[in-house]
């Protein structure tokens, strides 16, 4: 991989061929255009047109973003905003693509810098542009200082998703301090009828979808934690109009490709224009640029659809699978994995893991993953992190016997690591106490008894790459679960000058990406999962370098329904790992049947994390059957088009999802019942995304449709008449498959 954040892949995507997205065939001839008379740039992709131009002040201003326009449509040159009153200079109402903080700007700036001579004013104007096969580069410059900003634009031909980023260049003769830097500002058409969708959470409760009417003022989504965070995810979707819903209405959506502290500001200004500005978090931020140096922002991706938030999700899924993921455009379906964590926690050893592996192989597991506890003096979470040598008591002959055993059982082998952390009780920390984030003479706040290694340091980067490379070179490891179990405190970097120290927010993440990239280059077959105490580090930046993510430590199969519902708003089920674990589940002490747990997890990448030593014959039989069924449907579940038929949110008694294969030859439906009441039947399910004229045969995977349901009917029938599911009781689940027969 040559460039960061998947930018190079966006170029590849521009050459994309026609792909049916959600059953509609999209236009292939994506284009980049320049109307020189009006100085308007236009990007077309999928069903979307995006246009911006140079206004009479020389500012770069948004012209249009919405449904695809005809190639014949000529767009008007933009006109800068007007002065509403003397209190608001026109810069506040001009929908600038990338506004410098200066000239009396009060809305969120994209860029704020200060100069050594005390000047803090920056006004960016168009200088030049280059149109390439893969997009547009526009250069802006301050009205007097030699500070330049290159804005990069690309569009994905299949989905119309745009990628924008900025490079800030200091060509003055003195250092400048960048105090705030966004990747882009996205301007939406003027409206006072917008609803913002975003994702919030915490450990064990990630991916909760929030919806709120957008009012004048700003809503800030952010992480100040040094990494993406469980609390907010760098994704947004804005719906217009009160009738906009899952499958209808206009939606503008986007996600930031950055795994460090980030911020997205959604701001309705005083003339009801909506701007979404996102990039590095400006909190505690300062990036000093010496003369000649530059700063590159992450990419902020965004798209538009006229077909509801469901279609917005499907476009994002398609884009991630075809363009972002390391194995794009054809990622391998996720293997069924077994993970030892909930079964054995830190008490791993050769005999115990081999016994679990034997049982896992019997039910059809394809990848056996040993979790925490195999290294250093790791008996609890108090010690050992940082010492990545195999524990000689637990594994007297190293990992080889276990790995050989796993291979002999027909599975590949995966291993848990938490490379960026150290327990103070470790040889590494005793040797290198200066390697952690810290302010000299200040307390070092521990969380889970651990501190954060400062990956921005070259020696720490070399150490982390070195031990991982050695592990992968010396052992036949197919998969790493890469964990990250706390957020930052005292983010000092004493080894560099005080005015360079805040660079840690960027250099840390760049080195993380660099290590992942180099490991993948050197060990191209190794797959990696991004985990951060569950779903604390999921974003389009890390997804360009990892194959799957651990969505939440919460493995309660009922809680998972709303967690997965929220997750799929932003990210593809093709990376969404979900394990079947023990019942009652440790999270809520809830008891559910094994088939309920399987069906909940089968909506993403399936894993098993139960203690198989406690299973009886019937459990093994159920698991074997459902894993075999899953292997038949996983391509569609992971890579197909997802329709959220009934949402589990807001205390719903019901929830259902449907996945349709891209060629519409099959659909998989999962339906869940919390608890039946008052003899009400399960609501009829109206399927979506099928070929209306084709005939489909219905077949049960688990549970059943009512006996009145025809075995074969048209796609139109299943979508219009619908399907009745026979389900009563508490925590019930059913799954069925429709297969095209002609």
List the interface residues with ligand GLA, window 291-350 (CB under 6 A): 341
Among 226, 364, 534, 703, binds ligand GLA (CB under 6 A): 534
Q: Quick one: DSSP state of residue 26?
A: P
Q: How far is the CB of 369 from ligand GLA (least distance, A)?
A: 9
How far apart are the C-alpha atoms of 534 and 202, rounded to whole Å? Answer: 10
User: Is 553 a catalytic site residue?
Assistant: yes
Tell me which of 194, 280, 301, 550 binds ligand GLA, using CB under 6 A. 550
* Closest to ligand GLA by CB, 49 or 485: 485
Q: Which of 661, 646, 628, 644 is nearest to 739 (CA)?
A: 661
By CB under 6 A, name the one of 356, 531, 623, 705 that touches ligand GLA.
531
Q: How far apart are CA 378 and CA 380, in angstroms?
A: 6
| Residue 556: CB minimum distance to ligand GLA, A | 14
- Among 20-28, 106-114, 174-182, 527-535, which window interacts with ligand GLA (CB under 6 A)? 527-535
What is the per-residue DSSP string for 492-516? Answer: --TTS-GGGGGGHHHHHHHHHHHHH
Instruction: Pick the closer one to ligand GLA by CB: 59 or 342.
Output: 342
Pick one of 267, 387, 412, 553: the residue that binds ligand GLA (CB under 6 A). 553
What is the spatial distance between Cα 728 and Cα 330, in angstroms, rounded to a whole number?
40
Q: State in angstroms the smallest separation of the CB of 12 from ligand GLA.
A: 33
Contact predicate 311/220, CB 8 Å: no
Q: Per-residue contact track with ligand GLA, 471 to 500, x per CB under 6 A? A: ------------x-x---------------
Which is nearer to ligand GLA, 145 or 529 (by Cβ)?
529
Among 278, 533, 541, 715, binds ligand GLA (CB under 6 A): 533
3-state secondary structure 187-218: EECCCCCEEEEEEECCCCCCCEEEEEECCCEE
CB of 341 to ligand GLA, least distance (A): 5
Q: Which is nearer to ligand GLA, 289 or 516 (CB)?
A: 516
User: At which residue do the structure tokens 């399987």 appear?
Assistant: 598
Q: By CB under 6 A, which span of 227-235, 284-292, 456-464, 526-534 interacts with ligand GLA?
A: 526-534
User: Which structure tokens are listed for 41?
Assistant: 């740039």
Q: Which is nearer to ligand GLA, 222 or 418 (CB)?
A: 418
Stretch that binds ligand GLA, among 108-116, 311-319, 528-536, 643-651 (CB under 6 A): 528-536
Q: Are strands 251-256 and 300-305 parallel, antiparallel or unpaired?
A: antiparallel
Q: Which is nearer to ligand GLA, 188 or 417 (CB)?
A: 417
DSSP string, 604-640: SEEEE-S-GGG--HHHHHHHHHHHHHHHHHHHHHHHS
Q: Is the dihedral of CA 62, 64, 66, 67 positive or negative?
A: negative
Nearest to 39 by CA among 74, 70, 72: 74
Rounded distance, CA 378 to CA 450, Å?
12
Q: Which two tokens stand for residue 640?
A: 């197909």
483 is catalytic: yes
Shortest CB 615 distance to ligand GLA, Å: 20
User: How is residue 505 written in tokens?
Assistant: 């927010």
**How many residues belong to the site for ligand GLA (CB under 6 A)?**
11
Give me the catalytic one of 553, 556, 559, 565: 553
Binding mask 407-426 for ligand GLA (x = CB under 6 A): ---------x----------
Residue 351 phi, psi dihedral angles, 5° rounding? -65, -45
| β-bridge partners, 165 | 152
- CB nearer to ligand GLA: give 222 or 372: 372
Which parts of 146-175 interact with ligand GLA (CB under 6 A)? none
Whose Cβ is closer to ligand GLA: residue 129's or residue 230's?
Answer: 230
Out of 142, 156, 483, 556, the active site residue is 483
Query: CB 518 → ligand GLA: shortest distance, Å?
Result: 24
Which residues 704-733 are close enough to bind ligand GLA by CB under 6 A? none
**Alpha-carbon distance 367 to 415, whole Å?**
10
In angstroms, the CA 121 to CA 265 distance is 21
Which residue of the chain is nearest ligand GLA when measured via CB? 372
Tell me how far, at minimum, the Cβ of 533 lies from ligand GLA, in Å.
4
**Burial class of residue 290 (count of CB atoms within 10 Å of its CB; 0-12, 13-18, 19+):** exposed
Is position 371 an interface residue for ligand GLA (rule: CB under 6 A)?
Answer: yes
Q: Is 354 exposed, middle or buried (0-12, 13-18, 19+ CB in 10 A)?
A: middle
Shortest reach from residue 371's CB to ligand GLA, in Å: 5
Pick between residue 90 and residue 352 the one whose CB is nearest to ligand GLA: 352
Binding site for ligand GLA (CB under 6 A): 341, 371-372, 416, 483, 485, 531, 533-534, 550, 553
Active site residues: 483, 553
């Amino acid at each position: 991989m040559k460039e960061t954040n998947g930018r190079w892949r966006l170029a590849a995507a521009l050459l994309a061929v026609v792909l049916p997205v959600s059953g509609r065939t999209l236009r292939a001839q994506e284009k980049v255009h320049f109307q020189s008379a009006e100085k308007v740039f236009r990007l077309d992709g999928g069903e979307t047109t995006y246009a911006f131009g140079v206004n009479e002040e020389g500012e770069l201003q948004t012209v249009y973003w919405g449904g695809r326009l005809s190639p014949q449509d000529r767009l008007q040159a933009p006109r800068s905003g007007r002065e509403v009153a003397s209190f608001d200079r026109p810069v506040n109402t001009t929908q600038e693509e990338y506004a410098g903080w200066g000239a009396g700007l009060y809305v969120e700036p994209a860029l704020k810098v200060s100069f050594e001579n005390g000047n803090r004013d920056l006004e960016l104007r168009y200088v030049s542009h280059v149109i390439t096969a893969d997009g547009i580069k526009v250069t802006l410059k301050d009205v007097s200082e030699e500070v330049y900003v290159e804005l990069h634009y690309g569009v994905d031909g299949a989905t119309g998703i745009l990628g924008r980023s900025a490079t800030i260049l200091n060509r003055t003769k003195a250092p400048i301090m960048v105090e705030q830097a966004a990747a882009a500002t996205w301007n939406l058409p003027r409206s006072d009828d917008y609803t913002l969708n975003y994702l919030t959470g915490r450990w064990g409760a990630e991916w909760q979808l929030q919806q709120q009417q957008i009012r004048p003022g700003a809503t800030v989504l952010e992480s100040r934690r040094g990494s993406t965070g469980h609390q907010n995810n760098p994704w947004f979707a804005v719906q217009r109009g009160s009738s906009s819903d899952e499958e209808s209405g206009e939606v503008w959506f986007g996600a930031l490709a950055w795994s460090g502290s980030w911020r997205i500001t959604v701001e309705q200004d005083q003339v009801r224009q909506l701007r979404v500005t996102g990039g590095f978090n400006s909190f505690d931020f300062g990036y000093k640029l010496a003369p000649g140096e530059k700063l590159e922002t992450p990419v902020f991706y965004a798209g538009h659809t006229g077909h509801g938030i469901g279609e917005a999700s499907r476009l994002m899924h398609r884009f991630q699978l075809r363009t972002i993921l390391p194995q794009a455009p054809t990622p391998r379906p996720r293997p069924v994995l077994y993970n030892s964590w909930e079964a054995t926690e830190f008490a791993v050893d050769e005999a115990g893991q081999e016994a679990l592996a034997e049982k896992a192989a019997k039910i059809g597991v394809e990848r056996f993953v040993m979790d925490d506890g195999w290294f250093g003096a790791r008996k609890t979470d108090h010690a050992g992190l940082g010492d990545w040598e195999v524990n000689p008591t637990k594994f007297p002959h190293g990992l080889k016997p276990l790995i050989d055993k796993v291979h002999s059982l027909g599975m590949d082998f995966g291993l848990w690591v938490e490379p960026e952390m150290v327990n103070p009780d470790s040889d590494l920390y005793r040797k290198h106490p200066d390697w952690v984030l810290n302010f000299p003479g200040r307390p070092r706040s521990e969380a889970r008894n651990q501190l954060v290694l400062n990956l921005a340091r070259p020696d720490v980067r070399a150490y982390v790459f070195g031990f991982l490379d050695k592990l992968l070179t010396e052992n036949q490891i197919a998969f790493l679960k890469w964990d990250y179990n706390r957020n930052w405190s005292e983010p000092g970097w004493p080894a560099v000058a005080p005015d360079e120290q805040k660079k840690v927010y960027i250099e840390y993440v760049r080195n993380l990406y660099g290590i992942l990239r180099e490991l993948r280059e050197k060990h191209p077959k190794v797959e990696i999962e991004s985990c951060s105490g569950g779903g604390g580090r999921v974003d389009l930046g890390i997804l360009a370098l990892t194959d799957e993510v651990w969505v939440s430590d919460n493995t309660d199969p009922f809680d998972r329904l709303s967690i997965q519902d929220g997750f799929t708003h932003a990210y593809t089920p093709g990376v969404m790992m979900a394990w079947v674990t023990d019942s009652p589940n440790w999270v809520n002490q809830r008891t559910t049947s094994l088939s309920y747990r399987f069906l909940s997890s089968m909506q993403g990448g399936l894993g098993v994390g139960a203690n198989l030593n406690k299973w009886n014959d019937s459990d093994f039989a159920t698991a074997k059957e459902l894993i075999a069924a899953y292997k038949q449907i996983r391509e569609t579940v992971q890579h197909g088009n997802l329709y959220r038929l009934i949402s589990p949110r807001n205390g719903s008694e019901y929830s259902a999802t449907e996945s349709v294969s891209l060629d519409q030859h099959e659909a998989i439906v999962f339906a869940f019942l919390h608890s039946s009441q008052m003899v009400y039947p399960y609501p009829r399910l109206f399927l979506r995304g099928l070929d209306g004229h084709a005939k489909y045969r219905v077949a049960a995977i688990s549970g059943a449709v009512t006996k009145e349901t025809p075995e074969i009917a048209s796609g139109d029938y299943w979508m219009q008449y619908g399907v009745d599911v026979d389900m009563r009781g508490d925590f019930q689940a059913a799954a069925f498959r429709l297969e095209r027969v002609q």
